[in-house]
Amino acid sequence: MPSVSSDNKVKMTPTRAAIIGGISGAIEITAAYPAEFTKVIMQLYPKYNKMGAWNVFKYTIRKDGFFGLFKGYNLLLTAGVPKSYIRFGVFEYMTQNVFEEKSLRNTTIAGVCAGSLEGLLIHVPVENMKVKLIHDRFVPQPQFRNMFHGIYTIAKERGVKGMTRGWGINTVKEGSNHAIRFPLFLGLQKVFAPRFKSNVMRDMVAGTITGIICVAINQPLDTIKTNLQGLKGGDYKNSFDCAKKILTNEGVLGLYKGLKPRMTRVGIEVGVTFASYNAIIDFVHKYLDGAE
């Protein structure tokens, strides 16, 4: 049975995996959010994309202070627990009860199922809110006073459609993310096992590399998703129309806006998530299961 756990002896159930995954999700969001904020700004505003990630980072701090980099953070943190809860819970359930034979194909399919469900149930509404809250931060006259006012206004003015825009490409993006992420991480975990005495460092390195590779493969999907979910998302008929307009106005590189900060953000996310996930599992096994 494939498992992201570093210890084959750990009694990992889908419920336990979901809870531990939720805790790991909260940790990674806190660590990586400034890079996520920078990435979204660069994808929404061509002029800020030309500035480069570091200059956008510094400009935001000058404009709004350090905590300006955390606009929309509360929303993502609130969603981070159920997001990782679904991701790890579904993956462990699928590998234990549906795809029991250990193989690359089964691990990939289980990853697709976990990522697609996570994307549809959590990412679609949350990303719509997050992107609009960040987008609003850089318009001449911001409309939203705070997160709650923003959510209320978006729901009132745009309705269900405004809160679920880009659901198709969001689901595809997350499904492809985890189709790559789980099997690649498990493979790198084995490769690095003899090279690291610390399991935490092994998982951090394997996870970071996994995250960077995922971004290199599906960055265009993320750029299209962000533009569809921004305040001007209504300018696009669908995902294909959005891609076509980006290509027409900005060329192929327009689909790779925010690449560097997203690589930073996802590298941190995957490294911290898998490292903390397995560290918590080891802790549970050593101090809780061992006491039984």
Low-confidence winner among 85-89, 105-109, 190-194 (lowest mean pLDDT): 85-89
Write down the domain spans for the chain: 14-286
Q: What is the pLDDT of residues 97-106, one digit of tens each?
A: 888 888 888 8
- Are 184 and 174 in contact by the 8 Å Cβ rule? The answer is no
Element (DSSP H or E) covering residue 14: helix 14-44
Which pLDDT score, from 0 to 100, does residue 202 have?
93
- Are 268 and 31 in contact by the 8 Å Cβ rule? The answer is yes
Which pLDDT score, from 0 to 100, does residue 287 have?
59
Q: In this model, does residue 266 exceed pLDDT 50?
A: yes
What is the rounded distance in angstroms from the CA atom of residue 105 to the CA atom of residue 290?
34
Tokens of 192: 């690095």
- C-alpha distances (whole Å) from 254 to each of 35, 115, 214, 227, 236 are 19, 25, 18, 11, 16
The whole-number average pLDDT for the span 155-179 is: 87
Global confidence as pTM: 0.77
- Are 17 and 92 in contact by the 8 Å Cβ rule? The answer is yes
Q: Where are the beta strands (DSSP E) in the chain?
A: none
Q: What is the pLDDT of residues 47-94, one digit of tens each?
A: 899 899 999 999 999 988 998 888 888 887 887 778 877 888 888 888
CATH number 1.50.40.10 given to 14-286? yes
Q: In this model, does residue 221 exceed pLDDT 90?
A: yes
Q: In this model, does residue 289 exceed pLDDT 60?
A: no
